[in-house]
Chains A and B, each alone.
Chain A
Amino acid sequence: MSADSAAKTTPPPVVQVRDMDFCYGASKALFDINLEVKYHRVTALIGPSGCGKSTLLRCINRMNDRVPSARVTKGEVLVKGKNIHDADVDLTQLRKQVGMVFQKSNPFPKSIYENVAYGLRIHGEKNKNALDEAVERSLRHAALWDELKDRLSANALALSGGQQQRLCIARAIATLPDVLLMDEPCSALDPISTLKIEELMSQLAREYTIVIVTHNMQQAVRISDFTAFLHLGKLVEFSPTEELFTNPREKLTEAYLRGTFS
């Protein structure tokens, strides 16, 4: 009991990246990364284009496996305390619990309902009531329920860009993941849709752990609790967002924040 409560007061990080090197074929993309993502916090990954933010993000749910010859060459990635490269890790279970939202909103050309229910269906949920419930819950969490509850059977492609992206978020959280990875989710959206998604993220952070890649530094300030700054495949600085933006420890971080280079 006491051990349990002790664990509650200091919950272990949900994602731990330890001394990780990552290569695409012969070229190294990430060098010696160390990162800890805390439960129910928003962690932002910032840095110039090509610095490896997205690659790092995709290491967490092993989406890089899709790229031939891409692999982790050193170190390890732990999610919920388990090394995700262990042989007994089932990729489908890992990805069920580590959801992902992509840069380009890409709903399937199916109904809104089917889009949200997709994750549950592929994991074998057949019960209509359970599906209905999950769809409603996910759409509510994604702040879409009131807008869409009367047209669940409409084609998802008929929605606006912002709605489509929120639908993708609803689809990703339908399987109740612990971690939600977001790869520049607002980069293709107008400012108002962006604002809505940012509001949504601060709400979602109460129930999910969010790791977000963003190009927009103001966005990182607005929504994140922790920020990691990457440059040329190296993690330069990782600290609470306020600290990193107001009082960066590294010269490189400061230069980037001031816009001396980008």
Chain B
Amino acid sequence: MSPVSITENPFAGDNSGIQKRETIARWALRVGSYIVVFITVAIMLHIFIKGAPVTFQSKWPFVNTQFLTELPATLHVIEDKQGNHYETDVNGADAIKKKLGDNFRAEKTISYSGGGILGPIVGTALLVIVSVGVALFLGVACAIYLSEYAKHGKFLEMVRLAILNLAGVPSVVFGLFGLGAFVLTAPVFVDVPADRSVFAIPLGFTTLSFEGWDTCVLSGGFTLAFVILPVIITASEQCLQAVPQGFRETSMALGATRWQTIRYSVLPFATPGILTSSILGIARAAGETAPIMFTAALAFKDKLPWQKDLPPLPADASIFAHWEQSVSRFLGIFTESVQALPYHIYTLAAKIPQNEYAERAQYGSVFVFLVLVASLAASSVLLRKRLRAKYRW
């Protein structure tokens, strides 16, 4: 055993290429990650640069209130002989034409690109309210049953498989399902069943007729509810499972029934988590286009769902004096078809001739849509962070 001479490196790597492969692998993975980040940033920046000028303005109140508070309308663009362009709505067009007189050269109309996007915003909000309400009820009920009551075995596996498959169903299939189930066959109470009724059950004072709800918020909301159901069930089940088993054991050992245990020592600690994850469900429901195409959404509608040609309630009466009518008018909101943001964007992008004026409305809508969905997702993340800190056991 002779001592090794100092100049010789005892740790020199062999040249088998291990180091080279290590470097290649690291860079391949790194580049992949960078591409993902780059694409996200590119999309966001593009939408922001093109869309923000439509939504914001340099003058007070800095937000383009017209864009957010008006219904979509046809944009009229009038050109005079000097090449000046005037953008206006249908009423303004005549006035400008009259003023220009002989100076008038040409008029262009661009559908849906004038006014604002209040209609789609309201429609999306209503759809989200209905779908999340339905999905939370069904989803949480299902999650509680699966997590707390169901025995492990074949049936439970089948249900889980069903949920997994439901998550994989293409959204256009949900749309067609909604068309068949809710638009055309869902049951309603009517005095006289319509001809299209699949079948009707007379109940004496009224008739339960399976004639569908027509295209409306309710049909769309229920359809969207099924789209987000897997998300809600899975998230709720995880939240329920995160509640320590010890809480259940203690509660049962004190003589609580299973439902009391769930009600008082499981649900209260799972609810915050269920609600935060359901916000992600909201984002998903707000973003889907295909499920509402056949069930709720219209390309164009010049009225908000509560603007109907109904006689006003008697002036002297308070809301309570005519509560039945008030309630039925309120519920009437949900039996209207609406515009919705994703479908509006689709219309703007695919159904009208493309030019600079259409582009303005497109990017504005997409920007508003993106901001809404992103803020929902962000609030979910923030809320979860805060709740995590609060509930630790």
Contacts and interface: CB of A to CB of B under 8 A. Distances in A.
Interface of A: 61, 63, 66, 68, 91-96, 99-100, 102, 104, 106, 108-109, 118-119, 121-123, 157, 168, 171-172, 175
A158 to B, nearest CB: 12
Contacts of B152: 68
Interface in B81-136: none
A122 B258 CA distance: 11
Interface of B: 151-152, 244, 246-247, 249-257, 260, 264-265, 269, 391-393
A157 B389 CA distance: 13
Shortest beta-carbon contacts, A-B, top 4: A106-B246, A96-B255, A100-B253, A95-B255
A100 B254 CA distance: 7
B253 A95 contact: yes
Nearest to B391: A109
Contacts of A102: 246, 249-250, 253
A118 B249 contact: no
A92 B253 CA distance: 8
B254 A106 contact: no
Given A68-B152, A157-B393, A122 B255 contact: yes
Nearest to B257: A92
Contacts of A123: 255
A104 B246 contact: yes
24 contacts: A63-B252, A63-B253, A68-B152, A92-B256, A92-B257, A93-B255, A94-B255, A95-B252, A100-B250, A102-B249, A102-B253, A106-B244, A106-B246, A106-B249, A108-B250, A109-B269, A109-B391, A109-B393, A118-B251, A118-B254, A121-B264, A122-B260, A171-B254, A175-B254
B247 to A, nearest CB: 6
Contacts of B260: 122
A108 B265 contact: yes
A175 B221 CA distance: 47
A92 B255 contact: yes
Contacts of B244: 106
Contacts of A175: 254-255
Contacts of B391: 109
A61 B246 contact: no
A172 B249 CA distance: 12
Contact of A122 (B151, B247, B256, B392): B256
